[in-house]
Structure 1
Amino acid sequence: MTESFLPHMNGVTGSVLQILRHLERHGHEARVYAPAAADMPRMIGHARIEAIPSVALPGYRTVRVGTSSTHRLSASLARFAPDVVHLASPFALGWRGALAAERIGVPAVAAYQTDVAAYAARYGVSLTTALAEAHIARLHRRATLTLAPSSESEEQLARLGVDRVRRWGRGVDAERFHPDRRLGAWEHRADAEAVVGYVGRLAPEKQVEDLRALADLPGVRLVIVGDGPSRPRLESLLPDAVFLGHLSGPQLAQAMASFDVFVHPGESETFGQTLQEAHASGIPVVATGRGGPVDLVRQGIDGWLYRPGDLEDLRERVRDLAGDVRKRQAFGRAGREAVEGRSWSAVCDQLLGHFVEAQELHRADAGLRAPRAVRPEPTPAGERKHWRRYIALGDSLTEGLCDPGPEGELRGWADRLALLLAAREPLDYANLAIRSKRVGDVCGSQLDRALQLRPDLVSILVGANDLVKQRVSIPLLATRLEDTVRQLREAGADVLLVTAFLPGNPAARVYVRRFSAWATALAGIARRQGAILLDTDLHPQLAERPNWGEDLVHLSSRGHRFLAYRAGVALGVPLADELGALDEALHAAERTGAGVWWRRHALPWVWRRLHGRAAGDGRSAKHHDYVRLGRERGVREPSEV
C-alpha cells in the first residue's frame, strides 16, 4: 500500500520497486495498491498493480492522493489474502490500508519515510501541523510494527507516543551509482574549479533556496538536478546556476558522479537517499545536521554536517571542500566504502525479517484479546444476539443536548439507538448520562448505578470534557476507564465504546492530538477487554457543520441520528445503514442556524466558569431507572384491531 508509485518517481516509489524485485526473486507473491495515475503500469514483473481512485495534490499535478474507502480496500485485500500488509510512507491511503488490514486480521508494517508534519509547516500551513502529527501518531500506533529510517525519526516517533519501532534504512544501487560514471570533460563544468550539485524535488520542504549562500563562491558552479513547483522561483533566485531538470537512469548516475561536492539543505529528510547515491558515486556530501543525514554523513570522514539554518556555516563547509581536491577525493573514497555494504538485497532481507516479527507480534496481540470480537458478526438462522437491558453512560452528548423531541424533551443518539434495538422485541433502557460529567463520573457514580441495574449492554461515550482541560493525563484516564469496562464485562454486559470527536472548525484543532490519543487508548481497551468499538474517525462526515447544534459544541438532531445508526451498524442491527439513509432522506429539509450562539451558549458558559459552576451541577439522570421500550410479542396495537 503506497502513497506514491509509477509513473511518478521518487524515494518511496524507488523503494517499492526494489522491494517488489526482491520479493519476486525469493518466490513471494506481491500486490501493489497505489493512487491511480495516467500511464500507471498494470504489472511489475509478476506483481499486479491495483489502481485506487485518486485526486491530484495541489501544486503537484503528477502526485495523486488515493481516495478509496476502507471497505473497498478490505474486500480487495480479503480476496488476495496476504500474510502481511506493507504500508510505504503511509498517510492518506496508508491510513485506510492500516484499517483494512485490521479488519481482515493481518499484521501491518508501516515504513515511516516522509515527515508530513514538517512538510505542512514548510508550506506555511502551520494550523495543519498538529493535525498531521496527530494523524501520523494514530496511524503508526495502529500498525503492528513501524520502521524508522534514522535515529532522529525514531526519536520523533517516540515523542508522538509510537512504540514498536525498528530501524530500517534504505539500500543503494552501488552498481548504477559508481565513481566510474564520472565525466571528466562534463559540459556543465566549464571553467569552474568545482561543481557543487543538488539532486531532488524543487519544492519548499527541500529548502533549495538556501543554496543562495553559495552563489558567489569563487570557482564554484552550482548545478541543480530535479523539477517541481519551486523551479521558476529558484531560477530567478539563482540566475547563474545550471538547472538540468529531472534526470533518471544513466543520465542521473553520470550527473551525480560528475559533481565535486553534493549538497542537500533540506531539514525534513527522514533518511536522505540521494546522500547515499552521492557517496556511492564517490562524492563528498555537505548536508544539514538534522534528520536522516545525521546517520549517513560521518563528520570529517566522508562529508560535513552544518548547523541547521546557519547558511554561513553551509558556505564555509562547501568552501572547505571546493578548494581542496585531495580532501574531496579522500572523503569520496570513504563514502564509497561506507555504502558498499548497504545493498538493496541486504536491506530487503532485513525487511522480510521485520515481516516475520510483525506476524509474531500480531499473533501475540490476538492472544491478549478476550474471546468476544471487537465487532459482532451476524449469526445464521435468526441467532443474532438480542439485548434486553441497555444502559447509556456519558455526558451531555449521550444526554442528548441540542436534540429536542416533539414535546421539548431531550432525545440524543443513545435514545435513538435504544428505539432501534427495541424494534424487534421489548428493551429496558436507562440513560444515566449528565451534562458536564467526566471520566471520573462515569467510572464512579454512573458505574455503581449501572452495576445495580445488571444490564446486558452498556454504551460509553465520555472524555471530551476531560480532554479540553488545561492539563490531562490520558494514560490515567484510560486506566480508570479500562477498569470500568472490565467490571461491566465481568458482570456479563457487552460494552460499546464510542470514541470522542470534534466539530470541523479551526477552534477545535488545538485539541486534535489529545482526541487522537484518547481514541487510540479506547481501541486498545476494546481489544483487551473484548468491547465493541465505534471509531468515529472512520466517519469524518460527523464533523460537518450540519451535524452540530447551534452551540457548536453538541450534536444537532441530524448528528445524533447519524451517530445512532453508526452505533447500530457496530452492534450488528439488521439494515441499520439502510434505515439511516432513509431517515436522512426524510429529514433532508432540516436546517441548523447559529445566529444566537453568543447569547444562548457562549456567554452563559463563560459565566458558569467564572463562578466555578458546570451545566450539570444539581442535575440528575433523565432515566435513572429502566423504562420499557417496544412492545411484547403477540400484543397488537389498537390500530391493528
Structure 2
Amino acid sequence: MLLLTESFLPHMNGVTNSVLRVVEELALRGDDILVVAPGPDSHPSLEVPVELVRSFPLPQYPQVRVAVAGSRRLVELMRRYRPDVIHLASPFVLGWQALVAADTLNIPTVAIYQTDVIAYAQKYGLPRGRALAASHTARLHRRATLTLAPSTAAIARLESLGVDRVRRWGRGVDARQFRPERRSDPLRERLAGGALIVGYVGRLAPEKQVADLAALRGIPGMRLVIVGDGPDRAALQRALPEAAFLGHLSGTALAEAVASFDVFVHPGESETFGQTIQEALASGTPVVATGAGGPVDLVRSSVDGWLYRPGDLGDLRARVEDLLGDHAKRRAFGAAAREGVASRTWEALTVDLVTHYEQAARLRAIDDALPARAAVRPELSEASVARPRWSRYVALGDSITEGLCDTSRMPAGEFRGWAERLAMLLAHERVQPFRFANLAVRSRKVADLTGAQLDRTLELRPDLVSVLIGANDLVGPSADPDLLAAQVDAAVARLRECGADVLLVTPFLPRRRTAMIFARRFARYNALLRGIARRHGCLLLDVEAHPAIGEHDMWADDKVHLRSRGHRFLAYRAAEVLGVRDAEALGELDAVLHSDEDLPAPGSWLARDALPWVWRRLRGRTAGDGRVAKHDDYVLVPRKRRTRTRQPG
C-alpha cells in the first residue's frame, strides 16, 4: 500500500497524527507500506520507508509545506512500488498529482477528506479562493475511486459539491495514552493554583476561532489554558493576557494537560472531525464545543458535554459556567465521556479502513470495465478513445440542448447551441456526409424524453444520441431524482438495444447561492446517471468534473441558460469525450475568435425574464408550449462549410 500525505513530521497536526497511527496499525498487520510525504526533513525513526518529495513552506505559516512532486515522478514511483491501493491523506495539491498518476496505471485510490479547505479559505478572507477551493475539492474527490469522510457534516459538505462514493470513516483515539489517571495535581497547582481550568488544545490559526474564548473572561475561579502553536499565537497572547499559553505539547505531557482540565472547549466551526475532542473525552474531561461540523458526531450534549449554538458566544459562556459550577455534573459527564470512546481504537478503525481499501479495488474494476472510461476521466481521453465513427447524430433534451441564448453568428431569433457545435466538430472528423437532428425543446422534462423524443429518435435510427435532460424536473417542488433516473435508464436501454451509442451529459447549475438549494437533488440524480452509463456502456460527459461551467460568465443574462461562451465550452468538453482530435486547442482558439460576443441583453432581468416566467407559471404554461424541434429531421452538416442544407428526400 502506498500512503501519500500532504502533511507530515515534524509538523504535528490532525493529518500527521492520523497518518502515523494508520501506518503503525498497518505495519502491525504485516502490510507493506511506503509513505510519500513533503520534504526536506528525513524521518529515520519511522519503521516504514518514506519517499520525500519537493515542497515549499506557506509564507504566512512556514510550518505547513505544500508538496509538488509532478505526476511523471509519481507514475515512476508507483510502477516501481506496484501498490494495490493508494491512500491519499487530506489530498489537495500532491493528492491531485497522485490521482492523475494512479489513473494512468489503473490503481484504486482512497481519498481521506480531513481538512475543510473551503472553510479555511473563507476564514483567511479569500472569497475567490473559497470558490476555487470548492471546485478543486469537488473535482478531486469525484475523481478518487472512494472518499472517506469522518463525520455527517463532512459527508453533507461533499454531497453538496456533487461528490458520490462517500463513506463514513472516523478517527481512533489512544485510550491508553489519554486516560483520567493522567490528571496531575502538581500541574494544576502550577497552572491555576486553586482555580478550575478551562482548556483548549489545537492549532492557533484563524480557522480554529480561538479568539472566541475571550467570551469566557471574568468567570470567577477559572483559569484559561491554551495548548498549541501557530500563526495567531502572538495576537492571541495580546488579546488574552490572563490565559496560560503552554505551546506545543505531545506524548505524556499533552495527555497530562488534557486530563488536568476541568472543562475542554473547542470553538472552531470548520472541523471535519475534532481529534482533540476525542482525546479530551478519553481523558474523562467534559467538552463544550460548537454545534457545527465534526463535534456534532462526537459530543453527546447533556451526556458528556454541551454543544452550544454556533456563533453564540453568550451560549458558549453559559455552557462553560454550567459545568464549572456543578462538580457532580462534571464527574458524571467525565465518566460518560470515557465510556463513550472505549470502542474507538485505532486498531478497530484500521480494520474498517482495510475493508474500504477492498471496496475501492472492486469499484476500480467496475470503472475500468466501462467501455468509455475516458469519458469518466476526461484528462485521459485523447489517448484512449478512437477517432469518431458516427454519421447520424440526434440530440435530445431541453432548452440547453435547443441552444437557447447562443446567438453567436446567428440571425435574430435563431440559436446555435452546444449540440449543433458538436455536430460540426464531428462532421469535420469525417470524409463521408454527416447528418444531425435536434429534437430538444425548451421547458421539456424527462417525461418528454421517454415519450415523443424517444419515439422520433428510434424512427431516425441514429448511431449517436446525446441526452441532457432533468434540470426542469429537479427544480420542481417535489422532484424525485431516483424516479427520474429510472425513467432515463429505460430510455437509454431502448436506445442501446437499437445499436446507438449514447452520450449521457449530467445536468448542472450556475454557481449562485439561490441555485445551491437544488444541489443535493442534482448530485443524487447525477450519481444515478453515472450508474446508468456503467450499466449500459454509455459515454459520459460528467460536467461536475469541469467546474468552470458554473462561473457567471458562462451563463446568459437570464441566469438560467448558457450564453454562447458556455455553449462553446460544453461542446468542446463533449468533443473531448467523443475523441475529437485537438478538441481542447480548438476550443481555446474558438473562444479567442469570439471574445467580442455575449453583450448584455437590453432591459432589466426582472422585466425581461423573471416576470414573464412567473406569469407563465400562474397560467400553467411553459416557454416551450406550442413549439416543435428546430431539426425534427436530419440536416446535412458539410465537412468544410458551416452552411446547412435540408437532407434531400
Sequence identity percentage:
50
Instruction: Supply the distance in 2 between the matched residues of 1:469 and 1:121 (Cα, whole angstroms).
Output: 31
Instruction: Supply the distance in 2 between the matched residues of 1:474 and 1:94 (Cα, whole angstroms).
Output: 32
Q: Give how far 1:496 is off.
A: 0.7
Q: Does 1:18 align with 2:24?
A: no
Amino acid at match of 2:320: L
Instruction: Supply the distance in 2 between the matched residues of 1:555 and 1:418 (Cα, whole angstroms).
Output: 18
Amino acid at match of 2:419: A
Q: Structure 1 pair 119/191, CA: closer, same or farther in 2 (3 Å)?
A: same
Q: Does 1:386 align with 2:392?
A: no
Q: Does 1:420 align with 2:420?
A: no
Q: Structure 1 pair 498/77, CA: closer, same or farther in 2 (3 Å)?
A: farther
Q: Deviations over 1:157-179 (max 9, x none)?
A: 89999777355432428459895
Q: Structure 1 pair 503/315, CA: closer, same or farther in 2 (3 Å)?
A: same
Taking the TM superposition and a 5 Å limit, the aligned residue runs for 1:510-549 are 510-549=517-556
Q: Give how far 1:453 is off.
A: 0.8
Instruction: Supply the distance in 1 between the matched residues of 2:277 and 2:385 (Cα, whole angstroms).
Output: 63
> Does the CA contact (< 8 Å) of 1:42 and 1:49 recur in 2?
no
SS, match of residue 504 in structure 2 = strand
Structure 1, 402-411 or 73-82: larger mean CA deviation: 73-82
Q: Does 1:317 align with 2:323?
A: yes
SS, match of residue 451 in structure 1 = helix
Structure 1, 513-522 or 164-173: larger mean CA deviation: 164-173
Equivalent residue for 1:455? 462
Q: Structure 1 pair 263/591, CA: closer, same or farther in 2 (3 Å)?
A: closer
Instruction: Supply the distance in 2 between the matched residues of 1:102 and 1:383 (Cα, whole angstroms).
Output: 19
Q: Deviations over 1:188-234 (max 9, x none)?
A: 42533443322113456656466556544444322111245665775
Instruction: Supply the distance in 2 between the matched residues of 1:380 and 1:230 (Cα, whole angstroms).
Output: 48
Q: Give how far 1:435 is off.
A: 1.6
Q: Does 1:581 align with 2:582?
A: no
Q: Structure 1 pair 620/63, CA: closer, same or farther in 2 (3 Å)?
A: farther
Q: Give how far 1:392 is off.
A: 0.6
Q: Give how far 1:451 is off.
A: 0.8
Taking the TM superposition and a 5 Å limit, the aligned residue runs for 1:450-529 are 450-529=457-536
1:410 aligns with one of 404, 408, 415: 415
SS, match of residue 189 in structure 1 = helix
Q: Structure 1 pair 335/122, CA: closer, same or farther in 2 (3 Å)?
A: same
Taking the TM superposition and a 5 Å limit, the aligned residue runs for 1:196-235 are 196-202=198-204, 206=208, 208=210, 211=213, 215-227=217-229, 235=237
Q: Deviations over 1:38-80 (max 9, x none)?
A: 9676997523245589988xx8686678899999988986886
Instruction: Supply the distance in 2 between the matched residues of 1:588 and 1:452 (Cα, whole angstroms).
Output: 40
Q: Deviations over 1:91-134 (max 9, x none)?
A: 78768877876675443434454567887999999999999999
Equivalent residue for 1:84? 85
1:569 aligns with one of 562, 573, 576: 576
Q: Give how far 1:547 is off.
A: 3.1
SS, match of residue 223 in structure 2 = strand
Taking the TM superposition and a 5 Å limit, the aligned residue runs for 1:161-172 are 165-172=167-174
Instruction: Supply the distance in 2 between the matched residues of 1:256 and 1:503 (Cα, whole angstroms).
Output: 46
Amino acid at match of 1:502: L
Q: Structure 1 pair 132/372, CA: closer, same or farther in 2 (3 Å)?
A: closer
Aligned length: 618
> Does the CA contact (< 8 Å) of 1:194 and 1:219 recur in 2?
yes
> Does the CA contact (< 8 Å) of 2:280 and 2:287 recur in 1?
no
Q: Structure 1 pair 181/518, CA: closer, same or farther in 2 (3 Å)?
A: same
Amino acid at match of 1:19: V
Equivalent residue for 2:246? 244
> Does the CA contact (< 8 Å) of 1:138 and 1:517 recur in 2?
no
Amino acid at match of 1:548: W
Superposed CA RMSD in Å reads 5.0
Instruction: Supply the distance in 2 between the matched residues of 1:238 and 1:362 (Cα, whole angstroms).
Output: 52
Instruction: Supply the distance in 2 between the matched residues of 1:315 and 1:381 (Cα, whole angstroms).
Output: 64
Instruction: Supply the distance in 2 between the matched residues of 1:515 and 1:474 (Cα, whole angstroms).
Output: 8
Q: Structure 1 pair 61/536, CA: closer, same or farther in 2 (3 Å)?
A: farther
Q: Structure 1 pair 11/379, CA: closer, same or farther in 2 (3 Å)?
A: closer
Instruction: Supply the distance in 2 between the matched residues of 1:403 and 1:477 (Cα, whole angstroms).
Output: 27
SS, match of residue 404 in structure 2 = coil
2:599 aligns with one of 592, 598, 614: 592
1:626 aligns with one of 618, 625, 634: 634
Q: Structure 1 pair 17/418, CA: closer, same or farther in 2 (3 Å)?
A: same
Amino acid at match of 2:427: A
Q: Structure 1 pair 504/432, CA: closer, same or farther in 2 (3 Å)?
A: same
Q: Deviations over 1:366-406 (max 9, x none)?
A: 59x66665639989999745012110111122112222345
Unaligned segments of structure 1, at least 5 residues: 633-641
> Does the CA contact (< 8 Å) of 1:183 and 1:258 recur in 2?
yes
Q: Structure 1 pair 441/61, CA: closer, same or farther in 2 (3 Å)?
A: farther
1:429 aligns with one of 436, 440, 448: 436
Equivalent residue for 1:47? 50
Instruction: Supply the distance in 2 between the matched residues of 1:485 and 1:273 (Cα, whole angstroms).
Output: 46
Q: Structure 1 pair 470/443, CA: closer, same or farther in 2 (3 Å)?
A: same
> Does the CA contact (< 8 Å) of 1:223 and 1:243 recur in 2?
yes
Q: Structure 1 pair 568/379, CA: closer, same or farther in 2 (3 Å)?
A: closer
Instruction: Supply the distance in 2 between the matched residues of 1:538 and 1:622 (Cα, whole angstroms).
Output: 30
Instruction: Supply the distance in 1 between the matched residues of 2:423 and 2:300 (Cα, whole angstroms).
Output: 65
SS, match of residue 425 in structure 2 = helix
Amino acid at match of 1:16: V
Q: Structure 1 pair 304/166, CA: closer, same or farther in 2 (3 Å)?
A: closer
Structure 1, 146-155 or 576-585: larger mean CA deviation: 146-155
> Does the CA contact (< 8 Å) of 1:275 and 1:285 recur in 2?
no
Instruction: Supply the distance in 2 between the matched residues of 1:352 and 1:542 (Cα, whole angstroms).
Output: 37
Equivalent residue for 1:636? none
Amino acid at match of 1:472: A
> Does the CA contact (< 8 Å) of 1:306 and 1:317 recur in 2?
no
Instruction: Supply the distance in 2 between the matched residues of 1:421 and 1:206 (Cα, whole angstroms).
Output: 52
Instruction: Supply the distance in 2 between the matched residues of 1:123 and 1:60 (Cα, whole angstroms).
Output: 12
TM-score by length of 2: 0.77
Taking the TM superposition and a 5 Å limit, the aligned residue runs for 1:295-310 are 304-309=304-309, 310=315
Instruction: Supply the distance in 1 between the matched residues of 2:506 and 2:444 (Cα, whole angstroms).
Output: 16
Q: Give how far 1:569 is off.
A: 0.8
Taking the TM superposition and a 5 Å limit, the aligned residue runs for 1:72-471 are 82-89=83-90, 105-113=106-114, 145=146, 147=148, 149=150, 165-172=167-174, 174=176, 182=184, 184=186, 188-189=190-191, 191-202=193-204, 206=208, 208=210, 211=213, 215-227=217-229, 235=237, 238-248=240-250, 252-253=254-255, 255-256=257-258, 259=261, 261-264=263-266, 269=271, 271-278=273-280, 282=283, 284-288=285-289, 304-309=304-309, 310=315, 311-321=317-327, 344=346, 347-360=349-362, 362-363=364-365, 365=366, 373=373, 375=375, 384-404=387-407, 405-408=409-412, 409-423=414-428, 424-425=430-431, 426-471=433-478
Instruction: Supply the distance in 2 between the matched residues of 1:605 and 1:67 (Cα, whole angstroms).
Output: 50
Q: Structure 1 pair 146/534, CA: closer, same or farther in 2 (3 Å)?
A: closer
SS, match of residue 170 in structure 1 = coil
Amino acid at match of 2:322: E
